[in-house]
């Protein structure tokens, strides 16, 4: 069985390769990447969501792990083109990394995922939807700046966020790619222990020995600050929207589906913060 992973040079893609190899060292794994010379430890084929001429890389693939594109220029259109090509190439099943709560998510960020899920279901292909919650790395990635400036900022209020480490979500990819019984299944994936951003800031303070509060901001103010950091306006608005929706439960799930799927507790924020520090 040949398993191919798109976006294999990204954070999640690299971890997914590691997770699959850990569970099945002799698995027939292929990385689909813009630059096939990338050192990923597995065979690589040239592949680009925006270049249909590269879709021949799907030939001979049994299971395609479609990691959502990070190009927000018609992302749903890119995904639909890949799905169409995968069907034509005889791919047996597509595993798609969607967003928590999928078609009921209030986040603007969910719109492309909703369209992709619909395209998958309409394709007639077997599919597995991994509806990923927030990555804890979304927060630890900016820890250095937060500590330097003496505060974490956001707009999620007291909202509880069930984040998990990317490695947890990558292991879920490995489980469903290698296992049976996942055809046409949807999994809501999130961390075991939800936290507010005040909780997160308190843990950062504990581990650093410094007082690092969480400063909650109005949505427009937060978006403006993100733009001042160099983020494109559209992306800053999407992130601020995600925070506001998190305040009302948009990033909360307490089903423990992720830990049940991977067979262990999800990585606690204490461990993720320690590793980042």
pLDDT tens for 20-36 read 999 999 999 999 999 98
| pLDDT-derived band at 39, boundaries 50, 70, 90 | confident
CA atoms of 219 and 217, how far apart (whole Å): 6
R_g (Cα) of the chain, nearest Å? 19
* Within a domain: 47: yes
The mean pLDDT of the chain is: 96
* Within a domain: 158: no
* Within a domain: 239: no
The whole-number average pLDDT for the span 176-185 is: 97
* Within a domain: 248: no
pLDDT score of 71: 83
Model confidence, pTM: 0.96
The closest of 266, 115, 245, 270 to 188, measured between CA atoms, is 266
CA atoms of 98 and 242, how far apart (whole Å): 15
pLDDT score of 240: 97
pLDDT tens for 121-170 read 999 999 999 999 999 999 999 999 999 999 999 999 999 999 999 999 99
- Cα 222 to Cα 218, 226, 233, 238: the distances in Å are 6, 6, 12, 11
Question: Is it the case that residue 261 has pLDDT exceeding 90?
Answer: yes
List of residues 6+ apart from 148 with CB closer than 8 A: none
* Within a domain: 214: no
Q: How many domains does the chain have?
A: 1
CA atoms of 4 and 207, how far apart (whole Å): 39
pLDDT score of 272: 98
* Within a domain: 247: no
Question: Is it the case that residue 259 has pLDDT exceeding 90?
Answer: yes
The closest of 100, 108, 8, 95 to 49, measured between CA atoms, is 8
Query: Phi and psi at residue 218, in whole multiples of 5°?
Result: -60, 150
In the chain, what percentage of residues exceed pLDDT 90? 95
Q: Are strands 44-46 and 63-66 parallel, antiparallel or unpaired?
A: unpaired
The whole-number average pLDDT for the span 200-220 is: 97
H helix intervals, 98-212: 110-123, 137-140, 143-149, 166-178, 197-208
State the greatest distance between any 2 C-alpha atoms of the chain, in Å, as a whole number.
57
CA atoms of 245 and 101, how far apart (whole Å): 12
* Within a domain: 70: yes
Angle among Cα 222, 98, 277 to the nearest 5 degrees reads 50
SS3 track for 217-235 = CCHHHHHHHHHHCCCCHHH
* Within a domain: 203: no
Domain of residue 124: give its range. 2-133+166-188+254-262
pLDDT tens for 59-99 read 999 999 999 998 878 999 999 999 999 999 999 999 999 99
pLDDT score of 73: 82
- Cα 260 to Cα 17, 137, 193: the distances in Å are 21, 21, 14
Question: Is it the case that residue 246 has pLDDT exceeding 90?
Answer: yes
Domain harbouring 111, CATH code: 3.40.50.720
E-strand ranges in 54-111 read: 63-66, 93-99
């Amino acid at each position: 069985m040949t398993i191919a992973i798109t976006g294999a040079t990204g954070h999640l893609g690299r971890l997914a390769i590691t997770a699959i190899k850990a569970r099945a060292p002799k698995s027939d794994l292929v990385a689909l990447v813009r630059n096939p010379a990338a050192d990923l430890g597995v065979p690589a084929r040239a592949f680009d969501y925006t270049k249909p001429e590269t879709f021949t890389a799907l030939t001979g693939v049994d299971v395609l792990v479609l990691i959502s594109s990070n190009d927000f220029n018609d992302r749903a259109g890119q995904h639909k083109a890949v799905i169409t090509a995968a069907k034509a190439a005889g791919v047996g099943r597509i595993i798609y990394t969607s967003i928590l709560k999928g078609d009921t998510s209030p986040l603007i960020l969910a719109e492309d995922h909703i369209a992709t899920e619909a395209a998958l279901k309409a394709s007639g292909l077997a599919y597995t939807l991994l509806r990923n919650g927030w990555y804890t790395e979304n927060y630890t990635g900016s820890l250095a700046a937060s500590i330097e400036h003496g505060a974490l900022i956001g707009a999620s209020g007291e909202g509880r966020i069930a984040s998990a480490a990317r490695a947890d979500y990558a292991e879920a990819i490995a489980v469903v790619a290698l296992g049976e019984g996942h055809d046409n299944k949807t999994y809501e994936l999130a961390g075991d222990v939800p936290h507010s951003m005040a909780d997160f800031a308190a843990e950062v303070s504990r581990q650093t020995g410094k007082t690092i509060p969480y400063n909650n901001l109005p949505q427009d103010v937060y978006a403006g600050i993100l733009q001042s950091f160099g983020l494109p306006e559209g992306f800053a608005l999407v992130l601020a929207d995600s925070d506001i929706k998190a305040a009302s439960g948009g990033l909360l799930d307490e089903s423990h589906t992720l830990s049940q799927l991977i067979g262990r507790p999800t990585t606690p924020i204490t461990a993720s913060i320690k590793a980042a520090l």
